[in-house]
Amino acid sequence: MSGDPAPAAGPGRAGPPGRRRTLKVVLAVAVVLAGFRLLSSGVSALTGPPSPSRGALFGSWSGPSAPPLARSVPLRVKVPSVGIDAPLIRLGLDADGAVAVPPTSVPTEAGWFIGNPTPGERGAAVIVGHVDTEYGRAVFYPLGNVQPGALVVVDRADKKHAQFRVNSVEVVDKGRFPAQRVYGSGDDSDGAQLRLITCGGAFDGKHYADNLVVYAQLVGVSD
């Protein structure tokens, strides 16, 4: 894993608008590839992780958003309603140009993609976690139980706790991954957003067919 990329490498930073849009699309594809690579432990479809049905957005929640925060490294992600409380590591790109994933040897860790805004910054922050590994259930195993309106808290290095509310949950076919919708808003007018991504859907013995995506927006901050 590497440190933060140069400023021009992240969406929402200074630079020509066309360049930012192109970069968002390129990195969105990388997120799709990361989804393909989330490993699984052989859990059958009958005993696999909770997951809504594939298709339209599952539920919706809307409410007032909070102003974006300055950049600060995220340290921990919490989703109290489903018992997720995990440390965050940095994820860059792997040798194939895809977003790297957390090591399967530490299934309790999730990772944040350093090429995007940090959680709480303007734009779409991305956190990726395994649903299971060869060691069994992993950090995002219960993510499919998250309901719209649920609280997501990200602890940051600046001692602030960014508070998000889940707008919606979606299960998408990996072969038809809606990169632009998942990765970002297309511009910077929608404030600070968060995406939590893992695997879901049917399991064929080696891979899950879908990606589970949780969309959330910043609603507050506490010290």
CATH number at residue 173: 2.40.260.10
Which comes out higher in pLDDT, residue 143 or 189?
A: 143
Nearest to 149 by CA among 219, 84, 211, 76: 219
3-state secondary structure (DSSP) of residue 202:
strand
Model pLDDT for residues 37-68, shown as the tens digit of each residue: 444 444 444 456 777 766 655 667 888 999 99
Which range marks the domain in which residue 186 is found?
7-222
Query: Residue 190's pLDDT is what?
Result: 73
N-terminal to C-terminal alpha carbon distance within the chain: 29
Query: Considering the domain boundaries, does residue 74 fall inside one?
Result: yes
Does residue 1 sit within a domain?
Answer: no
Decide if pLDDT at 130 tops 70.
yes
Q: Please indicate, yes or no, if residue 51 is contained in any of the structural domains.
A: yes
pLDDT in tens, 164-216: 999 999 988 888 888 778 776 545 557 999 999 999 888 887 888 899 999 99
Percent of the chain with pLDDT over 70: 73
- Does the pTM of the predicted model rise above 0.75? yes
**188: CB partners within 8 A, 6+ apart:** 12, 122, 123
Residue 188: the pLDDT is: 54
Q: Is residue 180 part of a domain?
A: yes
Mean pLDDT, residues 93-111 taken together: 88
Q: What is the pLDDT of residue 14?
A: 30
Residue type, position 55, single letter:
G
Q: Is residue 2 part of a domain?
A: no
Q: How confident is the model at residue 33 (pLDDT cuts 50, 70, 90)?
A: very low
**What is the model's pLDDT at position 183?**
72
Sign of CA dihedral 96, 12, 116, 192: negative
pLDDT attached to residue 186: 47
**According to the model, what pLDDT value does residue 184 have?**
66
Number of domains in the chain: 1
